[in-house]
Every structure is written in C-alpha cells, then in structure tokens.
C-alpha cells in the first residue's frame, strides 16, 4: 500500500493489537488521515495460554509482525527489530501501547528519541505501586522523557500525576467496541436464564463468588464461563462440590471474531471482580461488548466497573454473593428490566465507547503533539 508522505506518520507498538476485533480501531485511526504502521508480536502468552495474531481488520494501514523476546514476561519482553523498523519508517510519533515500567517502553522510547520522533505511552495502572530497581528507575526516566500520556481511566491519571508525571495527558480507553459486530440479536425464548462470564479464570475476577451466587437462584438457569487460566480446575471442582456441575459450562478461550455469538446466547453478563492490594478492575472491556450486544450487565463496585456501567446496568458490593444473587434474581424475574437495561446499555456504548470515538480522541492527541512541536 502506498501512502502519501504528507500524512501524519505514526508507528504503534502494541501486543494487544494481535486481537482481531481490536484492529478496527486501527482502521479508524487511518481513516482520519494517519499513515499508520502497527507492529505486533506473532503471539502473546499469559495465564490463559497463547493468543496468536488474528488478522481481522487490516484496511488502510500496515499491520506487521515483529519478533519478540521473553514472550509472556509482562515487564521484560522486548522487540529486537524495533529500532531498524523505526529508522526505515521514519514516523512523526511513536505510540507505545505499554506501561511506563516495562522494558519494551524503555526500548521504544530510547529508539524514538534517537530519531527525533515524538512519543506517548498508554496506561491502565489505577493503583499506585512502587517497583524495585530497575523498574522504578526506568519508570521515572519515562515520566521525564515522554511527550504525552494516554490513560485508560481518571483513576489511572491520578496515579501517574501522584507519581510525578507533569506532562500532558488525556483519558482515552485503549479500545472501544464495534457496534456493528457486537449488536443485539434475536433471543431464544425457550432457553433457560443464561448467565455468562468471559475472560481470565483467576481469583481476582471473583468467579468462586459467582458460583456461590448462582446456587441461590431458583428455577431454570445456566452459567457459561468462557476463557482460560490457572483457576479452571478449582472452579470445576467447586461446581461439583456445590452440586451445580450440570448447569455450568466451561469453554476454552475463543478467537475474538466468535465472541459476538457468545454474547447473543446470554440473558445476563456478570463481572464480579475483587479488589486486591496490587490490582483492581481497570476497565472491563467485556462489559462494553455485552452492553453493545444488548445483554444486561451486572458488575461489582471494584475499580472502574461502576464508571463503565453508569446507569445502564446493575452494581453490587464486591465480595457479597448474596447481593449478586439478588441482582441476578431481579433480572431472572423481570423481562421488562432486562429489555430496559439492554436498550440503555447499547445507547451508552454508542455514546461513549465505540472504536470510532476512541480513534478520534487518539488522533486529536496526535495532532496536539505535532502542534506542540511546531
């Protein structure tokens, strides 16, 4: 693809963009007059397993694989070919889609400064955490040298201001949702009341609490858990112990393009996250996917969940299985409430959380960075 040299040139480094549905944001950025090259690793490993690069939305920009060292090490992974690609592309801005305490951020920032490119990083970090050297030293260096910061939430912005970042910043979610891909679909009136959770199977997501809560429901119901993680065997054993194993389905992590059909099979989506000393819910992207799909959502009051849901869903105090069960019973018994929340949830996504809105805000940041340089 040939792109005019007169366009604003941006090099984005992002392991998150291996997920196909996230790439719609990249197309939207390119549509706004940006010559965009996005570098991604061939895969990323975490507690769910290995997620390989999906090519779903690739029009109007370049999506290129680049080798990765220390795949799966959140803090230490590196990209050995990054500096060479940077010199060849000669961007105006390097968008580092990483936290400032990670080695990949240090690598990208150092290389960008050597060629005179402007730089920004992205952060979800909404708890003030103090790291030992060399991470603390690298973090302080990034905060002094970076030109701009994107924050996923206001709480993340507060954290980085308190840690000494004095430069310009803007709160913009990392990704939005495609409302054409995630949209309400016809419901099966004969299915049982179906509850879903999609994501990592780890203790901080509160899934043992969810299993406890569903045992308090009456009538016909079903629980579907989609994802992977170290807690899966424990959750399966707990379902057996609680006598609900016949009503709980576990499904492995699915390609992102298959997720709209998963939401279409739900009557309620639950995110029962639990705050930990070193973590609280940073956004809950699954919430906006469910809301866009017309699925009523229930979330705990951990971290950013209440801000994402607003008045378009139900909230319960984190850790309170009885309160979660009460909210589930409300949805189970009241089809009018389900329909009301379905409409309100989608309207909230269309107003605040689409890929186009995230792309527009991101490109406005790019333009502000270039105006500042001039």
CATH of the domain at 271: 3.40.50.2000
Same domain, 215 and 309: yes
- CA 75/CA 55 separation, integer angstroms: 26
Same domain, 141 and 200: no
pLDDT band at 2 (very low <50, low <70, confident <90, very high): very low
Structure tokens at 16: 């998150």
pLDDT band at 3 (very low <50, low <70, confident <90, very high): very low
Please report whether residue 3 resides in a domain.
no
Q: What is the pLDDT averaged over residues 209-222?
A: 97
Please report whether residue 315 resides in a domain.
yes
Same domain, 62 and 169: yes
Same domain, 291 and 365: no
pLDDT reported for residue 4: 41
Please report whether residue 331 resides in a domain.
yes
pLDDT for 193 beyond 70:
yes
Same domain, 168 and 258: no
Q: Residue 308's Cα: distance from chain center in Å?
A: 12
Mean pLDDT of the chain: 94
- CA 198/CA 259 separation, integer angstroms: 9
- CA 76/CA 74 separation, integer angstroms: 6
pLDDT reported for residue 35: 98
Residue span of the structural domain in which 101 resides: 8-176+354-373
pLDDT for 287 beyond 50:
yes
Please report whether residue 148 resides in a domain.
yes
Same domain, 348 and 359: no
Q: What is the pLDDT averaged over residues 348-364?
A: 96
Q: What is the pLDDT averaged over residues 98-105?
A: 97
> Nearest-CA neighbor of 350 among 186, 177, 172, 181?
177
The answer to whether the bond into 237 is cis (omega within 30° of 0) is no
pLDDT reported for residue 373: 56
pLDDT band at 71 (very low <50, low <70, confident <90, very high): very high
pLDDT band at 5 (very low <50, low <70, confident <90, very high): very low
Secondary-structure percent of the chain, ordered helix, strand, coil, rounded to 5:
40, 20, 40
Residue-wise pLDDT tens digits, 317-349:
999 999 999 999 999 999 999 999 999 999 999
Same domain, 17 and 156: yes
Residue-wise pLDDT tens digits, 153-183:
999 999 999 999 999 999 999 999 999 999 9
CB 225 within 8 A of CB 207: yes
Please report whether residue 187 resides in a domain.
no
Same domain, 101 and 112: yes
Please report whether residue 181 resides in a domain.
no
- CA 297/CA 198 separation, integer angstroms: 12
pLDDT reported for residue 217: 97
Same domain, 132 and 224: no
Q: Could you give phi then psi for residue 161, rounded to 5 degrees?
A: -65, -40
pLDDT for 374 beyond 60:
no
Please tell me the total count of domains within the chain: 2
pLDDT for 213 beyond 70:
yes
pLDDT for 49 beyond 90:
no
Same domain, 348 and 358: no
pLDDT for 58 beyond 60:
yes
pLDDT reported for residue 6: 59
Q: What is the pLDDT averaged over residues 276-289?
A: 91
Same domain, 111 and 229: no
- CA 96/CA 83 separation, integer angstroms: 13
Please report whether residue 185 resides in a domain.
no
Percent of the chain with pLDDT over 70: 98
Q: Could you give phi then psi for residue 213, rounded to 5 degrees?
A: -65, -40
pLDDT for 101 beyond 50:
yes
> Nearest-CA neighbor of 121 among 141, 99, 144?
99
* Prediction pTM value: 0.87
Helices (H) and strands (E) in the chain, counts: 13, 15
| Burial (Cβ within 10 Å: 0-12, 13-18, ≥19) of residue 190 | exposed
Please report whether residue 1 resides in a domain.
no
Same domain, 145 and 236: no
pLDDT reported for residue 188: 86
């Amino acid at each position: 693809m040939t792109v005019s040299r007169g366009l604003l040139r941006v090099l984005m480094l992002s392991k998150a963009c291996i997920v196909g549905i996230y790439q719609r944001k990249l197309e939207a950025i390119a549509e706004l007059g940006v010559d965009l090259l996005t570098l991604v690793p061939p895969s990323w490993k975490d507690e769910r397993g290995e997620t390989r690069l999906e090519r779903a939305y690739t029009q109007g920009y370049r999506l290129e694989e680049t080798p990765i060292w220390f795949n799966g090490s959140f803090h230490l992974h590196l990209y050995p070919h990054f500096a060479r690609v940077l010199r060849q592309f000669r961007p105006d801005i390097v968008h580092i889609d990483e936290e400032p305490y990670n080695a990949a951020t240090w690598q990208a920032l150092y290389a960008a400064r050597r060629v005179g490119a402007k730089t920004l990083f992205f952060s979800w970090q909404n708890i003030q955490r103090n790291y030992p050297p060399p991470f603390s030293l690298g973090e302080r260096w990034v905060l002094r040298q970076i030109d701009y910061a994107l924050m996923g939430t206001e709480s993340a912005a507060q954290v980085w201001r308190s840690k000494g970042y004095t430069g310009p910043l803007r709160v913009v979610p990392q990704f939005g949702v495609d409302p054409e891909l995630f949209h309400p679909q016809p419901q099966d009136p004969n299915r049982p009341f179906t509850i879903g959770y999609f994501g990592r199977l780890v203790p901080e997501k509160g899934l043992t609490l969810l299993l406890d809560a569903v045992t308090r429901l009456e009538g016909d119901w079903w629980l579907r858990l989609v994802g992977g993680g170290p807690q899966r065997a424990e959750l399966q054993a707990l379902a057996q112990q609680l006598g609900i194993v016949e009503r709980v389905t576990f499904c492995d992590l699915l390609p992102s393009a298959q997720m709209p059909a998963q939401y279409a099979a739900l009557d309620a989506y639950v995110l029962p996250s639990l705050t930990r000393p070193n973590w609280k819910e940073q956004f809950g992207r699954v919430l906006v996917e469910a809301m866009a799909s017309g699925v009523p959502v229930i979330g705990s009051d951990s971290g950013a969940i209440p801000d994402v849901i607003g008045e378009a869903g139900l909230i319960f105090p984190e850790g309170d299985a009885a309160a979660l069960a009460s909210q589930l019973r409300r949805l189970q018994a009241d089809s009018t409430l389900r329909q009301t929340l379905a409409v309100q949830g989608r309207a909230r996504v269309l107003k605040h959380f689409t890929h186009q809105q995230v792309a527009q805000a991101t490109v406005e940041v790019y333009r502000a960075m270039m105006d500042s340089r001039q």
